[in-house]
Amino acid sequence: MITSTITYSTDTVDSKKGSKSAGFAKYALQSVVFLFLCIVLLEGYLKLAGVGGQEFLRPSIKMGCEHIPGKRVIWRLEGYSHDRLSKVGLRDSEHSITKEAGTYRIALLGDSAVESLQVDLNQTFGKVLESLLNTKQRATVRQFEVVNFGCSSYSTGQEVLQYESEIDKYQPDAVVLLYNRGDSLENVIHDKDRKHAEIRPYFYLDQNGQLHQDNSVLNNNMDKLKPQPIKDFLREHSAIHGVLTQADLSLTINEPRYRKIKSWIEALVNLPKRFDPKNQSTLTAIYPDQNDMAVTKALIERLANNIAQKNRTFILMIFPNIVHYDVLLQQAKQLKTLADNKHFRCLDLSSSFLADKDPNSNFIQYHFSKKGHEVVASQLMQVINERVMLKN
C-alpha cells in the first residue's frame, strides 16, 4: 500500500516536472520565434522607411576607415540623399580605372564636404562641374570626367595617402583637394590625446623637417581594424545595426552624461589592456608635440610634388569662411603663400560665398547645400578652364 502510494506520488512529481520543463521549453521556443519575428519585422520596416542606412564606413588597416563598396546609403543626418556607393567605394557613379582617350579626368579629394551626402549625387559640385564643363568646354576637350574620392572624416594626411595608393592609377589630369577647417588638427596627434584618438594614420616632422607617418594609433587598435565577419556583415546589411551605431554617435555628440558613462564602461573593458606591456609601448610618444599647420603644409607639398612629377594640375581649394573665423583666415594665408611658392593654384571659396546676399543658404549645417554646390562648381570651372587653356 505504502509502496504504491510512494510510486504514485513519484509519478506525479515526475509528470509535473515534465510538464513544467515542457512548458518552459514551449515558452522559450515561443520567445525565440517572437524575437526572430521582431528582428525581421523591424529590419523590414526600417528598410522600407529608409532608416538605419547611414552607416557607410568600415575599418581599414591602412587608412583607419574607408567607404563600404556598393553600400546603399540613405542620409538623413542633415539634408537628404539616397544613393549607392560605387563598386570600389566612391561616393560617385561607376568609373573605370583606365581613362578613355581624349578624356580630361579631374579627381576630387577631401572629407565629407567633398563626399556630399547631404545632397543627391547629381547635385554635388563634382557632378555639376562635370555637366558644366561638358556643355561649355566641348570645343577644347572631347570629354570631362570628374571622380569624387571624398570620404567623411579624412584628414589631409589620409587624402595624400589615398592619392598615392588609389588615385594615381586613375591617371587624373587635375587633382582638386578641398581643405576644410579642422583638417590640420586631424593630421597630428598630441601625446595627451593618444588614448582616445581617432583611428587613423598621423604625421610628424623630424628635427630635419622630414615628414614621417605615425601608425601607432592604427597599430594599437589593430584588433578593431581586422575583419570581423559577423560585425562586418551587420554593418553592411543590418538596419538595426545602423540605428544603434547612429544613436551611439548622436548621443556621444549631444549627451555629455552618455559620454561619461560610455567612457567609464570603456575604461572598465580596457582595464586589462592598461596592464599589458605591449600596449604601453605603442602609446608612448617618439617625437615632441607638433605644429599642425607645419605638418599640413608638408603634406600638401608632398602631394603637390607627386602631382607635378606626373605633369598634372593641382588645385588646392579652401572651404569658405563666411564667419571670418580667425584660425581659418590665418591658415588660408599660409596655404596661399605655400601655393605661390610651389606654383600650384589655390582657390579660396570665401569671397564667392560672401558675395551671396544670404551666404548661409549655401550651407546645410557644416556642409554645402544644393546652392552651395553650384557656387563651388562654377568657381572650380573657371579655374579648370584656365588650366585647360594653358595646356592647350
Partner 1 sequence: MLFNSFTYLVFLPIVVALYWVIPARFRTWLLLVASYLFYMNWIPVYGLLIIFLTLVNYGLGLIIAKANKNRKLILTIGLCFNIGALCFFKYASFLAENAWLAVYNGSQFLHSVIPAAPISQWQNPVVNILLPLGISFFTFEFIHYIVDVYKGSSPIYNLKNFALFAAFFPSQIAGPIKRYQDFMNQLGHPLTLKQADFGGGVFLILQGLYKKIVLGDNLGTIVNYGFTHANQLGRLDAWIAVVGFTFQIFFDFSGYTDIGRGSAMLFGYKVPENFNLPFLAANLTEFWHRWHMSLSTWLRDYLFFPLGGSRVPPWRVRFNLMITMVLGGLWHGAAWHYMLWGAFHGLGLVISKDWHDFVSKFSNLSKWRLSKLWHWCGVGYTLLFLFIAGLFFRAETLQDVWVLFSTMLPLFSLNGRSHELVQMFLVSTVPISIIAYCLFLIAKEALQKISISEIPVANAVLELWQNSAPVRLVAYISIGLLILGFAPNKMSPFIYFQF
Q: Does 357 engage in binding with partner 1 (CB under 8 A)?
A: no
Beta strands 202-205; 211-214: pairing state: antiparallel
The cell for 106 is 579631374
**Residues 208-237: x/- map of binding to partner 1 (CB under 8 A)?**
------------------------------
Please count the CA atoms within 13 angstroms of the CA of 192 that sit on its side-chain side: 0
Q: Could you give the CA distance from residue 176 to residue 381 in angstroms, rounded to a whole number?
A: 12
User: Residues 61, 240, 294, 322: which binds partner 1 (CB under 8 A)?
Assistant: 240
Q: How far is the CB of 155 from partner 1 (least distance, A)?
A: 23
Greatest Cα-to-Cα distance within the chain, rounded to the nearest angstrom: 115
Q: Does 329 engage in binding with partner 1 (CB under 8 A)?
A: no
Number of residues located near partner 1, criterion CB under 8 A: 34
Residue 22 or 35 with smaller CB distance to partner 1:
35
Q: Does 264 engage in binding with partner 1 (CB under 8 A)?
A: no
Residues in the chain: 392
Q: Does 121 engage in binding with partner 1 (CB under 8 A)?
A: no
Q: How far is the CB of 59 from partner 1 (least distance, A)?
A: 23
Q: Does 383 engage in binding with partner 1 (CB under 8 A)?
A: no
Stretch that binds partner 1, among 49-57, 128-136, 318-326, 346-354 (CB under 8 A): 49-57
Q: Could you give the CA distance from residue 186 to residue 295 in angstroms, rounded to a whole number?
A: 10
Q: Does 366 engage in binding with partner 1 (CB under 8 A)?
A: no
User: Residues 6, 25, 247, 329: which binds partner 1 (CB under 8 A)?
Assistant: 247
Q: Does 19 engage in binding with partner 1 (CB under 8 A)?
A: no
Q: Does 27 engage in binding with partner 1 (CB under 8 A)?
A: yes
Q: Could you give the CA distance from residue 376 to residue 362 in angstroms, rounded to a whole number?
A: 10
Q: Does 250 engage in binding with partner 1 (CB under 8 A)?
A: yes
User: Residues 251, 294, 322, 383: which binds partner 1 (CB under 8 A)?
Assistant: 251
Q: Could you give the CA distance from residue 356 to residue 380 in angstroms, rounded to a whole number?
A: 17
Stretch that binds partner 1, among 77-85, 110-118, 135-143, 199-207 (CB under 8 A): 77-85
Residue 79 region by backbone torsions, left for phi larger than 0, else alpha for psi between -120 and 50, else beta: left
Q: How far is the CB of 243 from partner 1 (least distance, A)?
A: 4
User: Residues 46, 185, 322, 383: which binds partner 1 (CB under 8 A)?
Assistant: 46
| Residues binding partner 1 (CB under 8 A) | 27, 30-31, 34-35, 38, 41-42, 45-46, 48-52, 76-78, 80, 82, 239-240, 242-244, 246-247, 250-251, 254-255, 257-258, 261
